[in-house]
Amino acid sequence: GRSCRRLPHPRLLYSWEEKMSKRIKEAREEIGMSRAEMAREFGMPIRTLENWDREISNPPLWVEKLIIEKLERLNQNRHRRI
């Protein structure tokens, strides 16, 4: 027979999504980047970052992964220059 994948309970999904924007904020703050600097670097509206930081909205998982990867690369490049 066919097996069905069960979706996570909506509350579990919400708490998982909630953590995404926190990871972006933590990564941004870890390298000492302001919202304005990040908005310029990524070419995105500062309001989007404000909404993520305040957990008003959350980025899709694929966006979060790409942003975290780029912030990590930026952090590595900053350390190499010092």
For the chain, what is the HEC assignment? CCCCCCCCCHHHHHHHHHHHHHHHHHHHHHCCCCHHHHHHHHCCCHHHHHHHHCCCCCCCHHHHHHHHHHHHHHHHHHHHHC
Mean pLDDT, rounded, for 24-52: 94
Q: 35 falls in which pLDDT band (50, 70, 90)?
A: very high
pLDDT (0 to 100) of residue 73? 93
pTM over 0.85: no
Choose between 64 and 12: higher pLDDT: 64
pLDDT at position 29 over 80: yes
pLDDT (0 to 100) of residue 22? 86
Q: Do 49 and 38 form a contact (C-beta atoms < 8 A)?
A: yes
